[in-house]
């Protein structure tokens, strides 16, 4: 080994001498090119003779141990063997360092790590398929998902698309984000908002959510700045989101009449129309159904049905509602009646309902939720009867609705009344020893269950 190195050193010295003459002719640039050419030739000879000497690592180790180039166990070939000639000091850059080899080694290591990560991921998937077969994706645990996500990240998301079989690359990336991401610490970033400032943000949002003037995140950030707290609008948005407070447009929707609603009392009876289609003598008709409901007891009644709700017909319905002892308003002792601004509710109809002890109210325009009790009852009636049965005459429709009304008032439980019907029939407590029987209404369209007598 020493003889080989000595032979290489002699040949390198000769070439070094020739390179020095060339450097004197060409100047500093020629000297640098000569030394680089010499180092490349020496490195090539070493590899040809089978000496697997890593020039960069061994040379750096020798530098750290000895402090000079001349004191190394072996010197870079081509340097002077004269001990009086000082070599480069520690920290000085030497032109003989194999920079191309370090770049090649870096690229090779990166390729090796990529292939190793790919092999690890393929092996993990193979183990799962060997354990569960073709249904491995259905039997994955969170630990399996974490392992696949960790290995998939090392492979790279673009390369993972070509080799992933148990799940898509986007799915594995979501596993990394949801199963591993929350477990990692995230140091740095913005300082956490204090609880006092966070409570102030929530207070400003809750107390200023009136209609279209509801405060948004930028408006709240401006108010906080006036109070001495410099918060970004995005931070305000995140605070509101954590507390379940929707954005300003959704938060202020439907809040335009809060003051009026707070000042008025709910009406006792609500009126509204429902619509349905029947086939009468091969003619399709649209019928108007006038309904009424008592808001406290939830008792509902059918006022009338017609195809043409004229003023005269509406006047007759007003007389039916206010009839002594049998009219719905007189029987329920309603102190107020509420309806919308539909043109069918004429002025004559409202005047006939007006009484010294009874007030007639109208809901705000284009706000049906203000008359929510009757709107909800109309939806219940449609689901209970009108959407299940096709009627061929007005009388058939009337009988069908009356059966549905009887079930609604006497049998159907209401959550707002403690799961009791509005007007339950008189009776005793059910006998638990008796079997349960089913009572069908309208040929099985409505079911009711009771204990056998």
For residues 208 and 337, membership in a common domain is answered with no
How far, in Å, CA of 214 to CA of 209, rounded? 4
Q: What is the CATH number of the domain that holds 371?
A: 3.30.420.10
Question: Tokens at residue 69, please?
Answer: 């180039």
For residues 315 and 396, membership in a common domain is answered with yes
Residue with the larger pLDDT of the pair 451 and 260 = 451
Considering the chain, what percentage of its residues have pLDDT values greater than 90? 37
Q: Which of 206, 224, 251 is the last residue of a domain?
A: 251
Q: Which of 97, 121, 144 is the last residue of a domain?
A: 97
For residues 288 and 352, membership in a common domain is answered with yes
For residues 204 and 274, membership in a common domain is answered with no
pLDDT of residue 379: 93
Average pLDDT over residues 284-290: 94
261, part of any domain = no
How many CA atoms lie within 13 Å of 442's alpha carbon, on the beta-carbon side? 23
Average pLDDT over residues 199-209: 88
328, part of any domain = yes
Q: pLDDT tens-digit profile of 289-346?
A: 999 999 999 999 999 999 999 999 999 999 999 998 889 998 998 999 999 999 999 9
pLDDT of residue 213: 72
For residues 112 and 93, membership in a common domain is answered with no
User: Is the full-model pTM beyond 0.75?
Assistant: no
190, part of any domain = no
φ, ψ at 271 (rounded to 5°): -120, 145
71, part of any domain = yes
Q: Which of 183, 209, 232 is the last residue of a domain?
A: 183
Average pLDDT, the chain: 78
At how many degrees (to 10) do helices 233-242 and 195-207 cross? Answer: 80
pLDDT of residue 5: 38
For residues 361 and 304, membership in a common domain is answered with yes
Instruction: Please state the domain count of the chain.
Output: 4
For residues 279 and 173, membership in a common domain is answered with no
| Ranges 88-102, 209-223, 314-328, 381-395: which has the least confidence | 88-102
Most confident of 50-64, 102-116, 280-294: 280-294
For residues 271 and 413, membership in a common domain is answered with yes
For residues 408 and 286, membership in a common domain is answered with yes
pLDDT of residue 287: 94
Question: Tokens at residue 254, please?
Answer: 């439907």
Check pLDDT > 50 for residue 90: no
327, part of any domain = yes
Check pLDDT > 50 for residue 78: no
Instruction: Give the range of the structural domain holding residue 60, as residue numbers without chain letter.
Output: 2-97
For residues 154 and 136, membership in a common domain is answered with yes
For residues 279 and 394, membership in a common domain is answered with yes
pLDDT band at 112 (very low <50, low <70, confident <90, very high): confident
For residues 227 and 365, membership in a common domain is answered with no
Check pLDDT > 60 for residue 3: no
For residue 32, how many other CB atoms are within 10 A of its CB? 13
427, part of any domain = no
Write the Ramachandran bin of 4: left for phi over 0, alpha for psi from -120 to 50, otherwise beta: alpha
433, part of any domain = no
Residue with the larger pLDDT of the pair 446 and 67 = 446
């Amino acid at each position: 080994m020493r003889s080989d190195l000595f032979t290489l050193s002699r040949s390198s010295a000769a070439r070094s001498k020739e390179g020095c003459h060339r450097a004197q002719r060409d100047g500093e640039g020629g000297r640098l090119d000569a030394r680089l050419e010499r180092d490349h030739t020496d490195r090539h000879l070493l590899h040809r003779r089978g000496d697997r000497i890593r020039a960069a690592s061994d040379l750096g180790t020798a530098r750290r141990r000895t402090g000079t180039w001349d004191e190394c166990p072996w010197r870079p070939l081509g340097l002077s063997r004269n001990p009086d000639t000082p070599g480069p000091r520690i920290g000085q850059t030497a032109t003989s360092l194999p920079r191309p080899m370090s770049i090649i080694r870096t690229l090779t290591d990166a390729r090796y790590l990529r292939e190793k990560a790919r092999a690890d991921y393929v092996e993990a998937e193979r183990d799962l398929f060997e354990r569960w077969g073709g249904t491995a994706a259905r039997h994955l645990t969170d630990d399996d998902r974490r392992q696949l996500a960790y290995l998939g990240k090392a492979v790279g998301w673009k390369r993972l698309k070509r080799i992933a079989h148990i799940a898509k690359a986007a799915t594995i990336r979501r596993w990394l984000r949801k199963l591993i991401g929350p477990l990692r610490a995230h140091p740095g970033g913005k300082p956490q908002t204090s609880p006092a400032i966070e409570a102030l943000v929530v207070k400003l949002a809750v107390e200023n959510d009136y209609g279209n003037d509801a405060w948004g995140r930028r408006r709240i950030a401006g108010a906080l700045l006036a109070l001495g707290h410099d918060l970004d609008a995005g931070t305000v948005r995140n605070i509101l989101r954590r507390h379940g407070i929707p954005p300003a447009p959704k938060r202020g929707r439907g809040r335009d009449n809060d003051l009026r609603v707070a000042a008025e009392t709910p009406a006792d009876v609500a009126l509204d129309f429902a619509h349905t289609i029947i086939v009468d003598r091969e003619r399709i008709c649209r019928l108007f159904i006038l309904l009424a409901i008592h808001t406290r007891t939830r008792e509902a009644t059918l006022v009338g049905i017609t195809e043409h709700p004229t003023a005269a017909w509406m006047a007759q319905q007003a007389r039916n509602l206010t009839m002594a002892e049998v009219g719905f308003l007189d029987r329920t002792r309603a102190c107020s009646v509420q309806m919308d601004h539909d043109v069918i509710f004429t002025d004559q109809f409202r005047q006939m309902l007006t009484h010294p002890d009874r007030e007639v109210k109208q809901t705000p325009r284009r706000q049906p939720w203000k008359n929510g009790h009757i709107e909800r009852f109309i939806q219940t009636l449609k689901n209970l009867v009108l959407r299940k049965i096709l009627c061929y005459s007005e009388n058939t429709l009337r009988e069908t609705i009356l059966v549905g009304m009887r079930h609604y008032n006497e049998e159907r439980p209401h959550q707002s009344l403690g799961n009791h019907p509005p007007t339950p029939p008189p009776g005793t407590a059910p006998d638990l020893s008796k079997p349960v029987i089913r009572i069908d209404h309208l040929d099985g369209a409505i079911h009711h269950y009771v204990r056998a007598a």
